[in-house]
């Protein structure tokens, strides 16, 4: 039975459940430890912790997922245990900057789509984002609503995937900078979905050197073979094997739900021990 899910999104980024709805769902599914990891936002943390108060058996790790970039590649970096310091004004200013860049880039994608004859009203994209971090899934949903594609997956395959004709870049951190940012908050940096990272075997030791403490192994729809391969890498570099469903509640066929995949409790214990050590170090 899966008890841990360390990768979950809410309406504060591109997830479709509010923190309250997500907390109720994970409790219903019997999860004991979760992490809230919205894209470039910590806005859902407080509401999640608040909602979790009704369920003392559930531990909620305050987290974030930062998008970063290296040439020709995209790397997502998770930060766990940023609970103590995420209100730091400098950090929050950086997040606002990232979210503004997301909007600006979203607008550019909508323009590119228009040039391709796909008319996506920007107001609707904004509306779906509900004031949270705008992401491609919001654009994909509007494309479904307007009947341009049947499933949001198709929107990515045909238009807004990384190599799609309507994809647009935005300014991002480097993975190193993201690791440093999380460390500065007293948090634990963890590499997200490494199968999606080209050149992972080169970048993992570099990030480890910079302070990475874990990497996702038990993730989304990764096969047992992929998980075995990633576990080998995690062990080789002394990284805590992490993971989770990356649930967005998109309702797409085959979307892994919370509690369908996740790391063992030993990983959580290792993370809590590291977090505790850091807390003591700064006291
Ligand atoms: P963004 O942060 O705007 O670049 O969007 C990234 C999000 O889009 C990811 O967290 C996924 O939820 C989703 N996504 C990215 N690539 C795909 C894909 N090929 N198919 C479906 N969803 C995707
Ligand atoms: Zn997402
Ligand atoms: Fe991601
Ligand atoms: Fe994610």
pLDDT exceeds 80 at position 85: yes
- pLDDT band at residue 83 under the 50/70/90 scheme: confident
Q: How far is the CA of 9 from the centre of ligand 4 (A)?
A: 6
Over residues 129-157, the pLDDT tens digits come to 999 999 999 999 999 999 999 999 999 99
Q: How far is the CA of 247 from the centre of ligand 2 (A)?
A: 8
Q: Return left, alpha or beta for 3; rule: phi > 0 is left, psi -120 to 50 is alpha, else beta.
A: alpha
pLDDT exceeds 90 at position 51: yes
Which two three-digit tokens encode residue 123?
């107001």
pLDDT exceeds 80 at position 72: no
Over residues 257-277, the pLDDT tens digits come to 999 999 999 999 999 999 999
Classified as helix, coil or strand, 9 is coil
DSSP helix, strand, coil percent of the chain (3-state; round to 5): 45, 15, 40
Over residues 153-177, the pLDDT tens digits come to 999 999 999 999 999 999 889 999 9
The kind and range of the H/E element at 188 are strand 188-191
Over residues 179-204, the pLDDT tens digits come to 999 999 999 999 999 999 999 999 99
Q: How far is the CA of 43 from the centre of ligand 1 (A)?
A: 20
Beta strands in the chain (DSSP E): 4-8, 33-36, 59-70, 73-80, 188-191, 214-219, 240-244
**Least distant ligand from the CA of 8:** 4
**Least distant ligand from the CA of 37:** 4
- pLDDT band at residue 255 under the 50/70/90 scheme: very high
pLDDT exceeds 90 at position 236: yes
The minimum-distance atom of ligand 1 relative to the CA of 13 is 2
Can you tell me the mean pLDDT for 22-49? 98
pLDDT at 84 (0 to 100): 75
pLDDT at 20 (0 to 100): 98
The minimum-distance atom of ligand 1 relative to the CA of 39 is 2
pLDDT at 283 (0 to 100): 64
Torsion angle (degrees, nearest 10) of CA 250, 83, 221, 143: 30
Q: Alpha-carbon distance 252 to 153, whole Å?
A: 8
Q: Cβ(144)–Cβ(155) under 8 Å?
A: yes
pLDDT exceeds 90 at position 58: yes
Q: Cβ(203)–Cβ(175) under 8 Å?
A: yes
pLDDT at 176 (0 to 100): 97
The minimum-distance atom of ligand 1 relative to the CA of 67 is 2
Mean pLDDT taken over the chain: 96
pLDDT exceeds 70 at position 67: yes
Residue with CA at minimum distance from ligand 1 atom 23: 156
Q: How far is the CA of 130 from the centre of ligand 1 (A)?
A: 18
């Amino acid at each position: 039975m899966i008890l841990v899910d360390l990768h979950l999104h809410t309406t504060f980024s591109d997830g479709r459940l509010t923190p309250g709805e997500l907390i109720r769902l994970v409790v219903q599914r019997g999860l004991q430890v979760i992490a809230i990891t919205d894209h470039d936002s910590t806005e859902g943390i407080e509401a999640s912790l608040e909602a979790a108060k009704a369920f003392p058996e559930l531990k909620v790790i305050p987290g974030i997922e930062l998008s970063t970039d290296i040439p020709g590649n995209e790397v997502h970096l998770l930060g766990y245990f940023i609970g103590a310091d995420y209100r730091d004004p400098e950090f929050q200013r950086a997040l606002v900057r990232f979210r503004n860049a997301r909007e600006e880039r979203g607008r550019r994608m909508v323009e590119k789509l228009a040039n391709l004859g796909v008319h996506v009203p920007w107001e609707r994209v904004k509306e779906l984002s509900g004031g949270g971090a705008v992401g491609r899934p919001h654009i994909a949903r509007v494309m479904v609503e307007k009947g341009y594609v049947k499933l949001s997956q198709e929107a990515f395959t045909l238009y807004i995937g990384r190599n799609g004709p309507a994809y647009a870049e935005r300014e991002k951190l480097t993975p190193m900078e993201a690791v440093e940012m999380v460390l500065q908050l007293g948090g634990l940096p963890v590499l997200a979905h490494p199968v999606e990272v080209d050149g992972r075997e080169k970048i993992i030791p570099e990030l480890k050197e910079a302070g990475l403490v874990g990497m996702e192994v038990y993730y989304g729809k990764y096969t047992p073979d992929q998980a075995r391969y990633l576990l080998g890498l995690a062990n080789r570099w002394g990284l805590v094997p992490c993971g989770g469903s990356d649930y967005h509640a998109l309702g797409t066929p085959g979307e892994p739900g919370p509690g369908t995949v996740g790391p063992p409790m030993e990983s959580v214990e290792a993370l809590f021990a590291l977090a505790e050590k850091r807390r003591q170090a700064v006291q």
